[in-house]
Amino acid sequence: GEDVEQSLFLSVREGDSSVINCTYTDSSSTYLYWYKQEPGAGLQLLTYIFSNMDMKQDQRLTVLLNKKDKHLSLRIADTQTGDSAIYFCAESLTGNTPLVFGKGTRLSVIA
C-alpha cells in the first residue's frame, strides 16, 4: 500500500533556509503535495507538483522531486517566525483517489 514518511521535527534560525524531506513508496503517484497546518487550524495547501516535473518554485517555496528515489522536498527560503507550523507531505495516485499523508514535520523557527 501507499506510505509516506517524514521526519518529525526541524528547527531553524530565522532568515535561514528550511528543507523538509519526504519519501513515498508508490511509484505510480501522480500528484505530490505540501500542506501547512498552524495550531488549531485546518490544512492549507502550500503547493503541489505533478510526477512528470522535477522542480516547482513559488516565491519562497521550492519543491524538488526525485522520482527515481521517490523523494520529495520542500525548501523555504528566508524562513520567518510565521513559518512555524506542521508541514504535511501527501501523495495521490489520480485525481479521484484520496490523498495519503505523512505524519507531519513540526518546523520551529528560532528568532
Partner 1 sequence: NAGVTQTPKFQVLKTGQSMTLQCAQDMNHNSMYWYRQDPGMGLRLIYYSASEGTTDKGEVPNGYNVSRLNKREFSLRLESAAPSQTSVYFCASRGGQGEAKAFFGQGTRLTVV
Smallest distance, partner 1 to C-beta of residue 10, A:
16
Q: Which is nearer to partner 1, 21 or 48 (CB)?
A: 48
Q: 19 near 74, Cβ under 8 Å?
A: yes
Q: Which is nearer to partner 1, 24 or 88 (CB)?
A: 88
Smallest distance, partner 1 to C-beta of residue 94, A:
7
The residues that touch partner 1, with contacts defined as CB under 8 A, are: 8, 31, 33, 35, 41-45, 48, 50, 88, 92, 94-104
Q: For residue 1, what are the CA distances in angstroms to 25, 34, 52, 53, 100?
A: 8, 20, 21, 23, 10
Smallest distance, partner 1 to C-beta of residue 4, A:
8
Q: Which is nearer to partner 1, 8 or 19 (CB)?
A: 8
* Angstrom distance (rounded) from CA 7 to CA 15: 21
